[in-house]
Amino acid sequence: MQTPRDFLCPISLAVMEMPVILIEDGRSYEKRQIERWLSTNNTSPMTGKVLINKSFILNINLKNAIEEFREKQEKAQHCELLSRELVIKPGGLPEEFQDKKHPRLRIKICTLGDRSVGPDMIALHLDGLFQERYAVSITVVDLPGNMRYNNVWTDQYRCHGAIFVCDVSQPETLKDVIDGWYPKFKQHRSTGCQSVLLCHKIDLSEDPEDQIFKDAEQFAMENDISLFHTSAVTEKNIQAMFNQLVLCILASRSLLDQLKNNGSNTITDGQNRRESVQLRPPVRKPKKETGCC
């Protein structure tokens, strides 16, 4: 997770723990840093203007926002650490996972956004992450990348995990997620459903100053959604994103109980399986040229 600039002390450039507002210049600083500065200076660290009043007050709103950010950051780091233990293997489950000693969990994940991602199925073998050992089958369902179909696919919103995708080269796709896909998902989603937001195609643009990244960060924080910058070309963060989403699903007690109690979902072993989850745009076939003989 990228740290918002407002959370950094202008003096130390570190995340603030006790942010205070210097009344005369209206800027926030780490309390210890501004006290040290004012002990030897009579000017503002930011503007350089002479201070008549050196008073400061606690910025309680910023302090609460930073604490909330730290909690989410620790959660993301914890999931990233655990995700390194996941082993994803294609194809059918090995014999050791096909008996009753290792419960078969079937997870459904939907992708939502103005693009097309082909449905995939993979076998996920988990060992050592939880008290029990599970064999997990995962189906990724791609919904039509057009909001005019959203009422037709309401049943598909009732999944265990959702991947919201925006194209960083097309800022309007994030607006569609914020104003269209996500509200519809919240309206119809299952209890405990986990979700992530992808800023996709970062191989085309990954300038942190681009507005789409700032807007995505703000939306993710407001809705407690993990944010990933991904690329199908370089495969950056694809595996980490998928692993974290699966871990969050299995870490949700309500979802895990539901998965263990529901042995038969709509997912079947007869579906086609692919080697990995591929977040790629559809391949457009060239139009055939026509002419007279």
Q: How confident is the model at residue 101 (pLDDT cuts 50, 70, 90)?
A: low
Round to whole Å and give the CA distance between 238 and 200. 10
Q: How far is CA 98 from CA 87, 105, 256, 277, in A?
A: 17, 11, 19, 23
* Mean of pLDDT over the chain: 73
Read off the pLDDT of residues 35-75 as tens digits, 9 standing for 90 and up.
999 999 999 998 889 998 889 999 999 999 898 888 877 77
For the segment 220-244, the average pLDDT, to the nearest whole number, is 83
CA-based nearest residue to 248, from 162, 122, 183: 162
Q: Enter the DSSP assignment of 53.
A: -
Token couple for 192 = 């405990």
Q: How confident is the model at residue 290 (pLDDT cuts 50, 70, 90)?
A: very low
CA-based nearest residue to 135, from 156, 174, 107: 107
- With contact defined as beta carbons under 8 Å apart, do 167 and 201 qualify? yes
Read off the pLDDT of residues 15-31 as tens digits, 9 standing for 90 and up.
999 999 998 888 999 99
Q: Enter the DSSP assignment of 40.
A: H
Cβ neighbours for 87, distance < 8 A, ≥ 6 positions apart: 125, 127
SS3 state at 72 = helix
Binning the chain into helix, strand and coil, the percentages to the nearest 5 are 35, 20, 45
Q: What is the chain's Cα-based Rg?
A: 24
CA-based nearest residue to 214, from 203, 199, 224, 234: 199
Read off the pLDDT of residues 143-167 as tens digits, 9 standing for 90 and up.
655 555 555 456 667 788 888 888 8
Q: Which residue reads 């595996």 in tokens? A: 239
Chain centroid to CA 1: 9
Please say if the pLDDT value at position 269 is more than 70. no
For the ranges 122-131, 242-251, 264-273, the maximum mean pLDDT occurs at 242-251
For the chain, domains (ranges, CATH) are 5-81 (3.30.40.10), 104-261 (3.40.50.300)
Count of CB atoms situated within 10 Å of the CB of 265: 16
Round to whole Å and give the CA distance between 146 and 115. 8
SS3 state at 191 = coil
Name the pTM for this structure. 0.57
